[in-house]
Amino acid sequence: MYIISNVGSFGEGIYKIGLTRRPEPQDRVDELGGAGVPFEFDVHALIESDNAPALEHKLHKQLLPLQLNKINSRKEFFRVSLADIHREVEKLNEGEDFTVKVWTEKAIATEYRDSLDIENDPQKKENWVKRQQALSTRQLQLDMLKFPVLSSLDTDEDKQET
């Protein structure tokens, strides 16, 4: 079972409490943080249990009034404090046999915080835009070498030059 957040995508105080059967839970977290959201997820807890589905069910039941999506219960996001989640996990730990492998209070949110830093500093933003434009141009050149058919297509830059 995992407890994750994505401050840049959903804001503070929103947590996903989910379950994966994968040997490496981080693989599932990485998948969730793919192209569908602008920033990666932070892991707050990884919990191992012989009966993880029952444990997840009990935790979801305790937090049910705080579930965001009241229509689709398969969307396992909750508006709750991490301290409240921690308390509920501790209560469940008294009667269940599971191990909390990771517990992190603060979301690092590196991509989000670094993006805000660039957005809020005009010089950093200007340098970032130039770097991204150069990378984009270089990537197009490499793509054109790999896929010659692309070189016959007009790009926006070509159209502006004519």
pLDDT for position 98: 80
Please, are residues 4 and 32 in contact by the beta-carbon 8 Å criterion?
Answer: yes
Same domain, 100 and 155: no
pLDDT of residue 23: 87
Q: Are residues 15 and 53 in the same domain?
A: yes
25 with 70, same domain? Answer: yes
For every residue of 2-44, DSSP letters joined together read: EEEE-HHHH-TTEEEEE---SSSHHHHHHHHTSTTSSSPPEEE
Quote the pLDDT of residue 162.
Answer: 47
Residue 134 placed within a domain: yes
* Tens of pLDDT, residues 50-83: 888 988 999 999 999 999 999 998 999 999 999 9
Residue 138: inside a domain: yes
Going from the first residue of the chain to its last (162 residues), give the mean pLDDT of each consecutive group of 10, the final group possibly shorter.
95 95 91 92 90 90 96 94 91 78 84 94 92 82 71 55 48
The answer as to whether 114 is a domain residue is: no
Same domain assignment for residues 15 and 94? yes
Domain count across the chain:
2
Q: Is 103 in a helix, a strand, or coil?
A: strand
47/133 Cα distance (integer angstroms):
43
Q: Which two tokens stand for residue 64?
A: 């049910």
**Would you call 40 exposed, middle or buried from its count of C-beta atoms within 10 A (0-12, 13-18, 19+)?**
buried
- Say yes or no: 101 and 130 in one domain: no
Q: Which domain holds residue 134?
A: 121-161
